[in-house]
């Protein structure tokens, strides 16, 4: 049986317009990570914030320091969250990064033995100086010496259709979501391809996206998956997150 577990690895506070173009007010959003238990091993989808964010981090955030407030206490890092399942970092065989932004790959350093799975175009973009600056990558989060599997397009991790990377480019050059096939049906972990429920319902983009046309196309693909019965787990939706059981309880299996 395949099981899915959700873990909150910190919170971010930012203008709502950063998530929904034209919206006003502030947003207080979770930083999710997910553990998938498969008969052939354990997979983490995203690793959350790095421990640098538990200390003074203005220099680390750079231009984002004036936009984002981080709420991330000791004990909320992914390695400690795994402890709620009686697991340690070395019990995770793979880390699938949706993309390489600091709140999705910052915890990679805590999983030194895992194989990182990322879209090849994301890995390449995150090593181009101009894109590092314009897209907001921080090489300190991902250039750590991991064994990196660069995949092209859809990638079936175990070859059985249970854990499949789905390209959802737009937010970054090589963003990917993850389809997990559970006994009760498919779940799609959208990552930043779809921040909020409203993003999907209204096809409403954020203020900033690397490629707006590609991001809109990715939202349409998520809509198609939902129409075929998949449950979409939105990337940073605080209202949706209230209904997601936290580890050690399983979301589904």
In sequence order, what are the residues at sequence separation of 6 or more whose Cβ sits closer than 8 angstroms to the Cβ of residue 43?
A: 35, 36, 92, 93, 94, 95, 96, 157, 163
Dig out the tokens for 152 from the structure: 């092209």
**pLDDT for the residue numbered 64:** 73
| Residue range 100-109: mean pLDDT, rounded | 97
Residue 252 has pLDDT above 80, yes or no: no
**Cis ω on the peptide bond leading into residue 248 (within 30° of 0)?**
yes
Distance (Å, whole) CA 119 – CA 38: 21
- Higher pLDDT residue, 185 or 56? 185
Classify the phi-psi angles of 139: left when phi > 0, otherwise alpha if psi is within -120 to 50, otherwise beta. alpha
Residue 214 has pLDDT above 80, yes or no: yes
**pLDDT for the residue numbered 67:** 83
pTM to 2 decimals?
0.96
Average pLDDT, the chain: 95
Q: How many CB atoms lie within 10 A of CB 3?
A: 17
CA–CA–CA angle 250, 251, 253 (5° rounding): 75
Distance (Å, whole) CA 138 – CA 100: 8
Banded model confidence at residue 57, pLDDT cuts 50, 70, 90: low
Residues 131-154: pLDDT tens digits?
A: 998 999 999 999 999 999 999 999
CATH superfamily of the 3-241 domain: Ribonuclease Z/Hydroxyacylglutathione hydrolase-like (3.60.15.10)
**pLDDT for the residue numbered 60:** 80
Distance (Å, whole) CA 54 – CA 163: 31
**pLDDT for the residue numbered 59:** 76
DSSP state letter for 66: G
The DSSP result for 112-124, as a single string, is TTSEEEEEHHHHH
Banded model confidence at residue 191, pLDDT cuts 50, 70, 90: very high
Distance (Å, whole) CA 31 – CA 38: 23
Residue 58 has pLDDT above 90, yes or no: no
Q: What's the number of CA atoms in the CB half-sphere (13 Å) around residue 58? A: 1
Dig out the tokens for 77 from the structure: 């890092």
Instruction: Label residue 5 exposed, middle or buried (CB < 10 Å: 0-12, 13-18, 19+).
Output: buried
- The percent of residues in the chain predicted with pLDDT above 70, rounded, is 98
Residue 201 has pLDDT above 90, yes or no: yes
């Amino acid at each position: 049986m395949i099981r899915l577990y959700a873990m909150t690895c910190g919170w971010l506070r930012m203008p709502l317009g950063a998530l929904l173009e034209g919206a006003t007010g502030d947003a207080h959003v979770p930083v999710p990570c997910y553990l998938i238990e498969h008969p052939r091993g354990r997979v983490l989808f995203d690793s959350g914030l790095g421990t640098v964010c538990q200390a003074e981090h203005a220099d680390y955030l750079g231009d984002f320091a004036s936009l984002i407030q981080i709420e991330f206490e000791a004990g909320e890092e992914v390695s400690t969250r795994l402890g709620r399942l009686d697991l340690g970092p070395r019990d995770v065989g793979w880390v699938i990064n949706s993309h390489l932004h600091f709140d999705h790959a910052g915890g990679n350093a805590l999983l030194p033995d895992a194989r990182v799975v990322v879209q090849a175009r994301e890995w390449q973009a995150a090593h181009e100086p101009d894109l590092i600056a314009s897209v907001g990558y921080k090489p300190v989060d991902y250039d750590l010496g991991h064994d990196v599997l660069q995949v092209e397009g859809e990638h079936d991790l175990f070859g059985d259709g249970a854990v499949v990377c789905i390209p959802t480019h737009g937010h970054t050059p090589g963003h990917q979501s993850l389809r997990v096939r559970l006994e009760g049906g498919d779940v799609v972990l959208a990552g930043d391809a779809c921040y909020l429920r409203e993003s999907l319902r209204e096809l409403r983009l954020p203020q900033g996206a690397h490629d707006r046309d590609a991001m809109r196309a990715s939202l349409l693909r998520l809509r198609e998956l939902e129409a075929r019965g998949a449950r979409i787990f939105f990337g940073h939706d605080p209202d949706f997150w209230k209904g997601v059981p936290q580890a050690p309880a399983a979301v589904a299996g």
